[in-house]
Structure 1
Amino acid sequence: MRIFVTGASGWLGSAVVPDLIDSGHRVVGLARSETSAAALADAGAEVVRGTVDDLDVLGTTAASSDGVIHLAFKHDIAFSGDFRGAAEADRRAVDTFGEALAGTDRPFVLASGVMGLLLGRTATEQDLPAIDDSPMSVRAATSVAALDLADRGVCSSVVRLSPTCHGDGDHGFMAALVAVARATGVSGYLGDGANRWPAVHRLDAARLFRLAVERAPAGSVLHGVAEEGVPIREIAEAIGRGLNVPVTAVAPEAAAEHFTWLSGLLGLDSPVSSTLTRELLGWEPTGPTLVEDLDKGHYFHRPD
């Protein structure tokens, strides 16, 4: 298959692309810079220049491909305060892919997330996100719209990823927590730290995207979850070991100052199952657990 991948040189895309190529697929990667273009070419992919805002490029390339994996998201503006703007740009891209692929029965795989999907009990692939007026709901609504493309002759699926897609080179949530612990001199958690976050290793997640584009049925919801829920205190303890700093509870009234933008997320209890995904596609994660990955030390041996 000739597969168009957006976000192809990013944290996850740089694992998805070689997995696809090693499995015999041809990859067309979207690159917004010369550096990204060179990395994709070195990996053996065809390069198309553009961004997720270049809707003509997205539509034309999708129409000439056998399938699309959409990983790109404007994280730069999302984490600088304009999550709604990033999510709305994502929706425009998904709508463009839908128009290009309608009636073809070709696969379209969208990356989304599981964080906060269902608080307090284990969420499954059958649980749909709540849609309201919040910026986060814009992205949730996009995932629902992607699934609805199945009714328009698109073999669409959504891979909902763990918030901690970990591995060597990660600049996401785990790296941010390490940076907070390094800056404050303590590795903190909220409450008793028993609340849980799901996790998956980057290479396991990459393999799931390949399986999805190869054989996920239309309208499938898939969970990129290897561990249903890792207690935040265990994560804090691993960070404490790695940095050799004390591990301590942070008072709720001090959370915003201590954890900054992470404070609203760190207390969530959001366990998630991937049982249905494993049964459907035969996906079995083989990478290290999150704590094992932290204990390898690579999160602490580089600047954050």
Structure 2
Amino acid sequence: MRVFVTGASGWIGSATVDDLLQAGHEVTGLARSDTSAAALHAKGVTVLRGDLDDLDSLRRGAQAADGVIHLANKHDWANPASSAAAERTAVETIGEVLVDSDRPFVFASGVAGLVQGRPATEDDPSPHVGPHSLRGGAENRAFEFVDQGVRAVAARFAPTVHGAGDHGFIAHLVATARDRGVSGYVGDGTNRWAAVHRSDAARLVRLGLEGAAAGARLHATAEVGVPLKDVAEAIGAGLGLPVVSVDPHDAPAHFGFLGRFVGADGATSSELTQSLLGWVPTGPTLLEDIKAGAYFEV
């Protein structure tokens, strides 16, 4: 299959590209910089220069492909409205190209805020609707193309897709601990984050491209939920720092942008995804990665 991948040089995207190539697919990767283009070219990937704001490049990539994987995101924490608008527009642009083609369109989504009080499942629809909602309501917008002959599939990633080299939420917690001199968690620390190893997430994306039905919601969550106190304790042990509880009111000041999320509960099941695709996570757990030192190199 000829696969167009946005975010092809990113944290999840680069692993997904490797998995696609190993499975025998041809890959065209969207590259914003010379560095990204060179890295993709070295893998044998066809490079398409552009970014999420270059809608013509998105159209060209989608038109020439048998399937599309959309993983790029601006991650503009200072201007989330800009990121949301770009995400929604990218989904609309790709979806319009794929209308009446029955080609697969696997797009990145998340598990944040799906439900409260219990682990989220694949049967839970996204509550984020409309251009001003989280991620621009892109998941629901993408699924509107299903009735127009697009095999749209949501890949809902855990809040932490971990592994050596990760610069996401866990890396931010480690940096905060170094800066503050303590490894913190919010309240009693019993709130949980779902987690998945990068290699498992990449394989799930590829399996979704190859076999998931239109409208499928896939959960890239190997662990239903890891208590944040356990995460803080593992970070504290790795850095040789004390572990402390942070009052919820003080979380934004202590954790920065992550203060809005670090006290939330995000337990998420992937039982239906594993049954649907035969996906069995095999990578290390989040705590195993932390304890192995994946996040402590300076």
Structure 2 Cα separation of the partners of residues 41 and 186 of structure 1: 42
Residues 217-253 of structure 1 show CA distances to partners (whole Å, capped at 9, x for unaligned) of 1110100000000000000000001100001111233
Query: What percentage of residue pairs aligned between the two structures are identical?
Result: 56
**AA in 2 matched with 1:253:** H
Cα distance, 1:129 vs structure 2: 2.2
Q: With structure 2 as the length reference, what TM-score do the two structures score?
A: 0.97
- Determine whether 1:216 maps to 2:215: no
Residue in 2 aligned with 1:101? 98
**AA in 1 matched with 2:140:** V
Please provide the CA RMSD for this pair. 1.3
Residues 101-139 of structure 1 show CA distances to partners (whole Å, capped at 9, x for unaligned) of 10010000000110221122111011112236795x242
Residue in 2 aligned with 1:43? 43
Residue in 2 aligned with 1:286? 282
* Cα distance change, pair 133–23 in 1 and its aligned pair in 2 (3 A): closer
Deviates more, 1:236-245 or 1:111-120: 111-120
Runs (4+) off by over 3 Å? 131-135
Paired residues of 1:109 and 1:156 also in contact (CA < 8 A): yes
* Cα distance change, pair 209–268 in 1 and its aligned pair in 2 (3 A): same
Structure 1 Cα separation of the partners of residues 136 and 268 of structure 2: 16
Paired residues of 1:147 and 1:220 also in contact (CA < 8 A): no
Q: With structure 1 as the length reference, what TM-score do the two structures score?
A: 0.95
Alignment length (residue pairs): 298
**AA in 2 matched with 1:18:** D
Structure 2 Cα separation of the partners of residues 117 and 280 of structure 1: 20
Paired residues of 1:37 and 1:49 also in contact (CA < 8 A): yes
Structure 2 Cα separation of the partners of residues 242 and 282 of structure 1: 35
Residue in 2 aligned with 1:266? 262
* Cα distance change, pair 134–250 in 1 and its aligned pair in 2 (3 A): farther
Cα distance, 1:52 vs structure 2: 1.0
Paired residues of 2:85 and 2:131 also in contact (CA < 8 A): no
Residues 7-41 of structure 1 show CA distances to partners (whole Å, capped at 9, x for unaligned) of 00011111000100000000000001100000000
Residues 132-160 of structure 1 show CA distances to partners (whole Å, capped at 9, x for unaligned) of 6795x242621011122111101110000
3-state SS in 1 of match to 2:261: helix
